[in-house]
Amino acid sequence: MAIYPIRTFGDPVLRAAAAAVTDDVATLERLITDMLETMYEAPGVGLAAPQIGISKRIFVADAGEGPFAMINPEIVETSGSWTFEEGCLSVPGRYWPIKRPAYAKARGFDIEGNPIEYEGEELMGRVLQHEIDHLNGMLLLERLSRRTKREALRELREEALGIAGRS
């Protein structure tokens, strides 16, 4: 087992659309074990492979109902609307109220290639949408209003340059 360093804002792997997963069961088992360990250690409720530098369509999550993993997942249904203070392990320490559908259903595969489905309201629905965004190269910043996003990007760039708090 291994805990991976989590890639943060500015790392190009977070902006890339991840590739479909074609690995064998043993490789996937190992990867999922490591991803869950990394997620719990962080701690977080979800982790997508690009966040540890692996540009493949796989994520792990635990929204309070136990750990699970999805391979090559897609959102197939959403409904309602819910605003939630959303954060991301790749943008540490920041939270923004983000409005998304309250309910989401995702379809994908388990490590043996069997079709699986996860769905839920509120936190579960949110995690499914957030993690699948990661696989499409999208950070939660893309879900902010234009103005909030501009401010957030300025703060994050200043922080990255180490000039925050000096002006």
State the residues that interact with Zn ion by CB under 5 A: 88
b vs e for 17-27, b when ≥16 Cβ sit within 10 Å of the residue's Cβ? ebeebeeeeee
DSSP output for 68-129: EEEEEEEEEEEES-EEEEEEETTEEEEEEEEEE-SEEEEEEE-TTS-EEEEEEEHHHHHHHH
Write down the catalytic residue from 29, 112, 121, 131: 131
Minimum separation from the CB atom of position 47 to Zn ion (A): 8
| Closer residue to Zn ion (CB): 21 or 88 | 88
Please state, in angstroms and rounded to a whole number, the distance separating the CA atoms of residues 49 and 60.
8
Query: Is 119 known to be catalytic?
Result: no
Minimum separation from the CB atom of position 167 to Zn ion (A): 29
| Closer residue to Zn ion (CB): 21 or 47 | 47
Minimum separation from the CB atom of position 45 to Zn ion (A): 10
| Closer residue to Zn ion (CB): 49 or 88 | 88
Nearest residue to the partner Zn ion, using Cβ: 88
Catalytic residues: 131
